[in-house]
Amino acid sequence: MGAASADLIHLVLGIFGVLIVASVIGYVLERRLSPDGSNAAIENLNARIKAWWVMVVLIGIAFIAGRAGVILLFAFCSFAALREFMTLINTKRADHWALAAAFFVALPVQYYLLWAEQYGIYSIFIPVYAFLFMPIIAVLRGDTERFLVRIAEVQWALMICVFCASHVPALLTLHIPGYEGRNVLLIAFLVIVVQLSDVLQYVWGKLFGKTKIAPRLSPSKTVEGFVGGVISASLIGAALWWVTPFTPLQAGLLAFVITIMGFFGGLVMSAIKRDRGVKDWGHLIEGHGGLIDRLDSVVFSAPIFFHLVRFWWSLS
């Protein structure tokens, strides 16, 4: 990791600083406004800040553990996300082997191919091989009722939870001249920009939000929050250019693309939740809901960010 170490340490110290400030604010708010734990918004805020500490420490440990740690962490995220997704979709007994194959074949194979840095196969394994073999496995049971719906739902679960999510650790496989050994910082850049964008959209929305952007999908999202969040997160992205192979302008533009994709990813995923009649994908993370609730914007931005960087900066 060598060359990345100094920058990584600066980044981690910066994140710890932000979290310490957030924790202090949360503590003061709790003392002033919710000493008996009665203010739901403040309780939720503090639960979220605690969960952020846990998530940052887990990602930090994965970074220290290197390539294997990062790949294992995201493989676990894919597993937990796939479990949340499959819980909510329509499956029948006839889909049993197709579901088992998604969990115990498609998921491990995708992450193994990433580990082996086989771009030629891991970039098509799910959209080509898994997409064709899943319906073949399911059709062997001969149950045609709502067949297309069942297959489409399982395929989408794999696409979102495994294929898209795996493009975060896939950033480690890029070979960028002059940036050798520092790819883990690209993951940090992506994750920080996406997550700050979510938080800033929420903060701007709370402070100045008036105009609802998609009231039927997500009542808390406002135009003011969206614009403020996208601009401020893009500026922070530009300010983080020193951890990336990009110029400040390029870093800002990529951060802009990441935040836009993240925003619409969140919207798409809440449309699915509305359709299924649930508020959260699950209960894995205290205060945040399920893992997908935290990951929805990352999964939409990761493949686009990966391919933009690969196309313009990478040799492989």
Partner 1 sequence: MGTPIEWLAKPASVAIVLFARAITAVRAIWPESGMQTRRCVYFANHSSHGDFILIWTVLPPRLRRRVRPVAGADYWLKSPLNSFIGRDVFNAVLIERDREARKEDPVTQMTQALDAGSSLILFPEGTRNLTEQPLQPFKSGLFHLAQARPDIDLVPVWIDNLNRVMPKGEFVPIPLICTVTFGEALHIGETEEKAEFLARAEAALLALAPKRAGD
- Cβ(12)–Cβ(19) below 8 Å: no
Q: Which residues bind partner 1 (CB under 8 A)?
A: 79-80, 82-84, 86-87, 90-91, 93, 96-97, 99-100, 103-104, 275-278, 282-284
Q: In the complex, what is the shortest distance from the CB of residue 276 to partner 1, in angstroms, rounded to a whole number?
A: 5
Q: In the complex, what is the shortest distance from the CB of residue 164 to partner 1, in angstroms, rounded to a whole number?
A: 19
Instruction: Dig out the tokens for 291 from the structure.
Output: 């893992």
Residues paired with 8 in a beta bridge: none
Nearer to partner 1, 52 or 281 (CB): 281
Q: In the complex, what is the shortest distance from the CB of residue 103 to partner 1, in angstroms, rounded to a whole number?
A: 6
In whole angstroms, give the CA distance from residue 84 to residue 54: 20
- Cβ(263)–Cβ(297) below 8 Å: yes
In whole angstroms, give the CA distance from residue 305 to residue 316: 15
In whole angstroms, give the CA distance from residue 53 to residue 26: 13
Nearer to partner 1, 82 or 170 (CB): 82
Nearer to partner 1, 114 or 272 (CB): 272
Q: In the complex, what is the shortest distance from the CB of residue 83 to partner 1, in angstroms, rounded to a whole number?
A: 5
- Cβ(161)–Cβ(82) below 8 Å: yes
Q: In the complex, what is the shortest distance from the CB of residue 131 to partner 1, in angstroms, rounded to a whole number?
A: 19
Instruction: Dig out the tokens for 142 from the structure.
Output: 């001969």
Instruction: Dig out the tokens for 289 from the structure.
Output: 């809901």
The total of other beta-carbon atoms located within 10 Å of residue 112's CB is: 14
In whole angstroms, give the CA distance from residue 315 to residue 175: 6
Q: In the complex, what is the shortest distance from the CB of residue 93 to partner 1, in angstroms, rounded to a whole number?
A: 5
C-alpha atoms less than 13 angstroms from C-alpha of 75 in its C-beta half-sphere: 20
Q: In the complex, what is the shortest distance from the CB of residue 267 to partner 1, in angstroms, rounded to a whole number?
A: 19
Nearer to partner 1, 90 or 211 (CB): 90
Q: In the complex, what is the shortest distance from the CB of residue 273 to partner 1, in angstroms, rounded to a whole number?
A: 10
Nearer to partner 1, 39 or 87 (CB): 87
CA distances from 115 to 72, 77, 112, 170, 173 (A): 10, 16, 5, 9, 8
Nearer to partner 1, 96 or 206 (CB): 96
List, in order, residues 6 or more apart from 15 with CB less than 8 Å away.
56, 192
Nearer to partner 1, 83 or 182 (CB): 83
Nearer to partner 1, 154 or 254 (CB): 154
Q: Is 229 helix (H, G, I), strand (E, B) or coil?
A: helix
